[in-house]
Amino acid sequence: MSLEPVQVMSGQVAELPKVAPSSNGDSGGSWEGKREFDKDHLGLTAKPKPPKPENAVTVAVSSRVLFRTEREQKVFEQKGVEEYLRYQIEHENEPFAPGPAFPFVKALEAVNARLRELYPQSEELFDIVLVTYNHAHVGIRLINTINHHNLFIERFCMTGGSSPIGYLKAWQTNLYLSADANKVREALTEGIAAATMFMPEKMTEVSKSQLRVAFDGDAVLFSDESERIFKAHGLDKFFEHEKENEDRLLDHGPLKGFLEALGKLQKKFYAKGQRLDCPIRTYLVTARSAASSGIRALKTLRAWGLEIDEALFLAGAPKGPMLEKIRPHIYFDDQMFHVEGAAEMGTIAAHVPYGIAQKHNSKHNTSAGK
């Protein structure tokens, strides 16, 4: 199976369903009972204010991964920008259907609702920024869609075709999700955690009460140091290297900061005695072997002061079946082989184009260090 960013695995664009009132995220769904509202100075019901960027965990999401825009993208590619803008304006009262990042964003909002219940005055929350290359004319349709799905997204960044990376830095972005692999690479180069999202042919149902985020190890949470040893010298040398260096910490990878941000919010629930009922759960899903190379990964996380709720050392076994059991809202991996395997099982997977594996990425690749 070959994945394209936010492409349907089978079927045609024309077959995309219209958004029905009962679709995920609509006003009748179970998420809406968690929405918190405040009173303004006149006593009128108002939405909560978005947090200041310096206090928040900021997640920037492209409109092409938050919503299904394949039909519109096809108009742009075949007929050009002017026809594309006309089409968007003509259809601005038709909401987009949910895309691959939609369940993830909904889970972020559910966590925020719990945090507001426990800490009404705190701004340590997730803040979602919608990022799009679109012209401002398309903003009306995006706003209509956000309101239709009852999402709380107040911050928009519509760049009119320009690169959004400078704006991401200004927002102090903790994670950027996009369908554009080139922009993801640009963000990673600038030190921003980023990944390319894909639309699986099928989507596994995910938890509506607990955010679940799964990470690969090498070249995602950790650097690609050990992966380079494996690629250059083989499995035996990799095991030897890890044994000799098990007390030397791995360097950080591109997603380490996002795991750190998740851990900071988790601790706010722990402080209220809700460790066992925490709405954030994290997973390490790695092809490393526990006995021969797992100890260095665990020592590194401990030295960083980071907790991972569950660690799965698969010793080279396929990740797809384990991810199907976990049912994460998102899984990050640097190898397309594993991204495709996850997608085949219905998992929303995101590719982190970082490290030595990008020179070897193909469907037939396997890795001991991952």
Q: What residues act catalytically? A: 216
Contact status, residue 97 vs residue 30, Cβ threshold 8 Å: no
- Residue reference for tokens 């596994």: 204
Residues 152, 156, 161, 164, Cα dihedral to 10°: -100
246: how many CB neighbours lie within 10 A of its CB? 16
At 131, phi and psi to the nearest 5? Answer: -115, 130
At 157, phi and psi to the nearest 5? Answer: -135, 95
11: CB partners within 8 A, 6+ apart:
none
Pairing of strands 126-132, 57-62: parallel
Cα 271 from Cα 102, distance rounded (Å): 29
Tell me the residue length of the chain.
370
One-letter amino acid for residue 141 of the chain: R
Residue 172 in tokens? 């102090």
Residue 322 in tokens? 């384990």
236: CB partners within 8 A, 6+ apart:
none
Cα 118 from Cα 277, distance rounded (Å): 13
Cα 75 from Cα 85, distance rounded (Å): 9
Cα 183 from Cα 178, distance rounded (Å): 8
- Residue reference for tokens 């690969």: 216
Contact status, residue 348 vs residue 122, Cβ threshold 8 Å: no
Cα 251 from Cα 298, distance rounded (Å): 13
